[in-house]
Chains A and B, each alone.
Chain A
Amino acid sequence: EAGVAQSPRYKIIEKRQSVAFWCNPISGHATLYWYQQILGQGPKLLIQFQNNGVVDDSQLPKDRFSAERLKGVDSTLKIQPAKLEDSAVYLCASSSMETGGSYGYTFGSGTRLTVV
């Protein structure tokens, strides 16, 4: 099966600019996650979707970050305006609870954001 697709792979922007990331999960996976990974740290959850509804966005900085998952398939994560501390890798993952989540999550390769 095809994996989780993310784009772009790399992005460099100036602070106060806006940026958007795109994720296409594995077909049929109802649950989609966005994680932020700062260099040297483990990934940190930003938001979790179940179909097109938000399950957990408690760690999403809502003053500047937003995410949507229209039609319960693809998802976009936006940052506006970006700060220097937003420099990180943004990982998208998906999972299927119908299989009991037995294999946990499948992650994409991530988008590396550099804010200068």
Chain B
Amino acid sequence: DAKTTQPTSMDCAEGRAANLPCNHSTISGNEYVYWYRQIHSQGPQYIIHGLKNNETNEMASLIITEDRKSSTLILPHATLRDTAVYYCIVFRTDNYGQNFVFGPGTRLSVLP
């Protein structure tokens, strides 16, 4: 089973920030938080990942709480092309035997 819980769906107005929450209360100290998204008819696409500190790249920002039990993915200016299913995954990068376990994710709809 997935080690994360996310809301089933969210709406966001175009041009506004989209804040997608994720709970991972059983995360281990050496597990990273990864975010992927899946646009219709495509494979999941990497967005961002982090361990403890907040991270930012050209696509998004990742805010991880100090206790690491939850995180928020922020799309600063959502566009219609950001409509997708967003998956939050916890994962160790140093274990050959581990693999990504996907939950149902959050379906984000960006509205004009």
Question: Which range holds the interface residue count of chain A?
Answer: 20 to 34
Size of the chain B interface, CB-CB below 8 angstroms? 25
How far apart are A75's CB and chain B's nearest CB, in angstroms?
15
A110→B100 CA distance, assembly (Å) = 17
Q: Which residues of B contact A87 (CB under 8 A)?
A: none
Indicate which residue in B43, B44, B87, B96 contacts A97 across the interface (CB closer than 8 Å): B96
**Contact code string A31-48 (vs B, CB < 8 Å = 1, else 0):** 101010000111111001
Q: Is the CB of A101 within 8 A of B93?
A: yes
Complex interface: stretch among B10-18, B21-29, B63-71, B101-109: B101-109
A contact set with B: CB distance below 8 Å = 4, 31, 33, 35, 40-45, 48, 50, 55-56, 91, 93, 97, 100-110, 112
